[in-house]
Amino acid sequence: MAAVFSAAVMARNRKGSGVTNVFLHDVDRKVEKVYAEEFLCKKNLVKGAGRLWHFQIPPSNDTNAARFC
C-alpha cells in the first residue's frame, strides 16, 4: 500500500497547476479500499468501474497538514 500513500503525497505536493490523476485497481479488496479512502479521499473520486477507481487529486495549499482528507 506504499504506492497509494506515495501517490497521495506526490499529488498533494504538486507545484504546477491542475490535478493529478490516480487510478487504483482491485478496490474490491478491503485494504485497497481503506487506503484509498484514507489517503486519496472519497471526495476526490471521479468514477469507479468494477474494481477500478479514478481519482483527481488537487495540489494542497497546506502540505504540513496531518490529515489527507
31-62 residue pLDDT tens? 999 999 999 999 999 999 999 999 999 988 76
Could you read off the pLDDT of 2-15 as tens digits, one per residue? Answer: 999 999 999 998 88
Is the pLDDT at 21 greater than 90, yes or no?
yes
Q: Which three cell numbers stand for residue 5?
A: 500513500
What is the pTM for the complete model shown?
A: 0.85
Is the pLDDT at 16 greater than 90, yes or no?
no
7 neighbors 35 (Cβ within 8 angstroms): no
54 HSE (CA, 13 A, CB side)? 7
